[in-house]
Structure 1
């Protein structure tokens, strides 16, 4: 299974920030949230690796497809727990007759709707949007679930999202702040973006290839026209502490695992995980 979008973007931007001596201010709450997010990623990796290493005692090992499915299952459990714990920490409880739909837009913003009043809806949205990178994680998770259901990732929509995240993280900009001139050069940025472009042009920089790759993607999106490219988005159901898939034949929530449990290796890994 490929490394999740958010992990790739974080690793890239952290290295590039160091190279450009560009430091962002962060408060204590954000630092703690990032630590939890990193711990989550490591936990998922370790759990999945343990399932993959079960050949040490002579037991059959998972193939690539089985490993991808199990990793998705583990990620789903982690996301459900994150949402449940976040609601609990903010004093929010869903009654048995209350269920919600969680929508994530191209900017990673989370909105909810369902059988609840407006005040509670606003409280839930504020709580979930306060979790570092939760929106991005849910978008990526939705993409991988789609792949398991025969729906390939929309590469154009992903590229548009990726370069917008790059601009936001590195320069505090969005796609609407930049454009191409007649020569095909990026214009309308700021000093921070200019430093990124300078790093890309420096053959001695260890990050010149990474910078050029991102700027090439940015130019591709601007040349096509951002408004002509679909926005990345996702929707999940949520009830009883469980994040649920919508409009898919193969899901990963508690009540949708029967198909995966037909596979003996997956059954053992999931039920004993």
Structure 2
């Protein structure tokens, strides 16, 4: 696996990273399963899983809506059979698509929430799913396997003027239309075809963690694809040019990395023996 090395991000501890443990709003018990983290090979074990199955993500039907939430950009799907993810670390449980959220930073050398062996990326696209065995999304937040997030790392490459990634452009070309917080626009329902590029080879990281937005529920099975999608500088700048509720550009919306706290990170590999 070949990864492009970029400068290490200045990841100063914020209040959420101090030694005082975070507590849940309901029970008050410490939170030890927080995300994001650095996916470090020292703490990673290989494991052989059944195939991870993605069903219905590339259908060219229904409606896809792109929204500026004031904190991030979100994609929702409707009027179609929603995508399902199963297999791999999810075993035989069906996880249904919820929405897609984007994380980015002010510089192209950092912006993704996860890193791999301290290699940083420009952006992270997180596809949120909920475990259908619990009946509703609301019942998933207090379950250790209530949600699954399929995460893609994005890297800006080349000099200014490099051509856009044509598949990712199905999203970025519409961003100037949602600069105002709360604004939405319908985009092509096949806007997720860029995912196919990163899924062309086997292998991914998986671990148990949390949401990266308040109140940071520890309910997530993370699946992080290590093969970055390449985009142009112009495409990521389109994200930085949308506005929050104060009419200021959203130039950073990632969460700082958290302590691993003796958790085991697994790398799904066909070459593993078990």
Q: Please, what TM-score do these two structures have when normalized by structure 1?
A: 0.26
Greater RCO, 1 or 2 (C-alpha within 8 Å, sep 6+): 2
Q: Please, what TM-score do these two structures have when normalized by structure 2?
A: 0.26
For the pair shown, the structure with the greater C-alpha radius of gyration is 1
Larger relative strand fraction: 2
